[in-house]
Structure 1
Amino acid sequence: MSGERLQIKRRKFERLVSDALDAIPVELTSRMDNVVVQIEDRNPEEPSLLGLYDGIALTSRDDGYAGALPDTIWIYREAILDISETEDDIREEVLITVVHEIAHHFGISDDRLHELGWA
């Protein structure tokens, strides 16, 4: 990548995240439980991280889960812009990141995601 980093307004980035969520089949999104999606510029501990799932995967929940705060899927805008040269790159990275983090919500490991091409 050369020159200045591509910039898009936060509102447009939020739309791309929303579009990525809309692209997930309803058979999956209807099974998501107690999870929110948040957009931040960067992860403070790992600035190059594109996304993060923070919670208890559906496959790990038991009776003690009742009343837990929502799980959070974090999508990091600036980190995605850092690795993107075009708006199509941004759109693709957002989709991959959203799918990747939702997969963690369903208990799918990073290793399995790599095998499936979603890492």
Structure 2
Amino acid sequence: MSLVDAQALSAAKAPSLVEIEDLAHAAFAALPAAFQALARDVRIVVDDFPDDETLSEMQCESEFDLLGLFRGIGLAQAGETVTGQMPNTVWLYRRPLLDYWAEHDETLGHLVAHVLIHEIGHHVGLSDADMAGIEAAADL
């Protein structure tokens, strides 16, 4: 590692919630238009960790077990909107994402995009093969 690389690395900070959200929105913008149209009503929210209720519901052993989660009514189950219904939301969890990223050989942008596509895929009812194809088409 050169001195310049070492200086840049020593000044590096973990990406913030806002920076992870920016990565997610950039990844969404790079997805095929047809996929974007299916998910146009899905909000993207980034938090450090899932809440205790979510961890319990998903039977997680650790707060680091969950990288993302779709909450809402999937397109296959969509019907009439019920008053008080929360909007469809993809939750991305910053700290578990960063932990996973630190232990694997992929870029943070690619990881965020992968989790985002997977979680939106739940919303639209796609198979793993469909999601892999979307990811490949977006060249992420």
TM range (shorter): 0.7 to 0.9
Question: Which is higher, the Rg of structure 1 or of structure 2?
Answer: 2
Cα distance, 1:87–1:14 mapped onto 2, change above 3 Å: farther
- Contact 1:59–1:107 at 8 Å: present in 2 too? yes
d(CA) in 2 for partners of 1:95, 1:80: 11
Given candidates 20, 23, 33, the residue that maps to 1:26 is 33
Percent identity of equivalent pairs = 26
* 1:56 Cα deviation from its structure 2 partner: 1.0
Aligned length: 108
- Contact 1:39–1:76 at 8 Å: present in 2 too? yes
Q: 2:81: which partner in 1?
A: 65
Q: Give a deviation string over 1:15-49, Cα, whole Å, max 9, x none.
A: 21111111111222122253211001111314120
CA RMSD in angstroms comes to 2.5
SS of the equivalent of 2:111 reads: helix
* 1:91 Cα deviation from its structure 2 partner: 1.2
d(CA) in 2 for partners of 1:54, 1:92: 22
Give 1 or 2: higher helix fraction. Answer: 2
Cα distance, 1:10–1:88 mapped onto 2, change above 3 Å: farther
Given candidates 115, 123, 128, the residue that maps to 1:97 is 115
Q: How does 1:49-64 map to 2 (within 5 A)?
A: 49-62=66-79, 64=80
Q: 2:101: which partner in 1?
A: 84
Structure 1's consecutive aligned runs of 4 or more residues displaced over 6 angstroms after TM superposition are: none
- Contact 2:44–2:92 at 8 Å: present in 1 too? yes
Q: 1:3: which partner in 2?
A: none
d(CA) in 2 for partners of 1:27, 1:69: 24
Residue 41 (1) aligns with residue 48 (2): yes
